[in-house]
Structure 1
Amino acid sequence: MLRDLNTLIASMQPELQAGVYVFASLPHDAVTSGAGIVATFREREGLTVVMEERAAQAAGIATLFRAAWITLTVHSDLNAVGLTAAFARALGDANISCNVIAAAYHDHIFVPVDDGERAVDVLRDLQRTAGKLSASPKP
């Protein structure tokens, strides 16, 4: 797993996942097995779920946020410093909001569904810039 920030950015390889995903909040006692759920997080107010939009619609679950899901396919170390800040700044500079989930092997970025392709372009530009810096001779 990688920790060097420039190497991480140059290697991040953003991949847009197929489909539309939604954030929703369920009661703490909700049964969450299957049903297209890709992530959960327990908060005081309820159980936040990220799931496939079709599954949420089928279950009658109210949507809080519709998203495109981008996976950074680089194996980033959970102790790495600066990667989230770097891509969040690049997306923010492009006026794209992002919600991030760091999993054991990859970072997952959820952006407004209509901004998915543009967000991937922004991330690839960031990756190319970092790659050029990595290739530059050191003084």
Structure 2
Amino acid sequence: MPGESELATLLRDLKPMLAEEEHGFVTIPIGSGWPQGLVPVATFAETEGASVIALSSILDGIGLEYEEGWAKITIGATSALSAVGLTAKIAAALAETGISANIVAAYHHDHVFVPWARRDEAMAVLENLSKVQE
């Protein structure tokens, strides 16, 4: 399914959506096996092992230590994989307010993980970024 590639349209149609539950990042070492009960939101194979993003409640439940809590904000606009500049604009807008942004580009949508404590502020920044384009 092709997505939108025009940056102005993507920004106008940003529609950020905040997930209700906290997420965490963990690494599963190579060769250690997948912990029973782990339900990833996203994974990526790295030299150090499998990087996994999952709900903090699941990570707590199976006893995995994870990086501090993160909020997942899904970008509602469907961007083409070849679209240029969307994640850069998102990251820059959040950086201006000192908010860390870990961006995962998936096939249909981009997902921005921001510190849990700053999730409402991040949503306001992204909603404002969209309004500037109207």
Q: Would you call these one fold, judging by a TM-score over 0.5?
A: yes
Q: 5 Å matches for 1:1-139?
A: 1-29=3-31, 30-31=33-34, 35-131=38-134
Distance 1:62 1:18 in 2: 21
Higher helix share: 1
Instruction: Tell me by how many angstroms 1:33 deviates.
Output: 7.5
Q: Tell me what 1:137 maps to.
A: none
- Alpha-carbon RMSD: 1.3
Whether the 8 Å CA contact 1:24–1:65 is kept in 2: the answer is no
What amino acid is the match of 1:59? I
Taking structure 1 as the reference length, the TM-score comes to 0.90
User: Identity, % of aligned pairs?
Assistant: 35
Taking structure 2 as the reference length, the TM-score comes to 0.93
SS of residue in 2 equivalent to 1:86: helix
Whether the 8 Å CA contact 1:16–1:71 is kept in 2: the answer is yes
Whether the 8 Å CA contact 1:28–1:42 is kept in 2: the answer is no
What amino acid is the match of 1:115? R
Q: Which moved more, 1:13-22 or 1:60-69?
A: 60-69
Q: How many residues align?
A: 131
Instruction: Tell me by how many angstroms 1:64 deviates.
Output: 1.8
SS of residue in 1 equivalent to 2:133: helix
Q: Which entry has the higher C-alpha Rg, 1 or 2? A: 1
SS of residue in 2 equivalent to 1:97: coil
Structure 2: stretches of 5+ with no match in the other structure: none
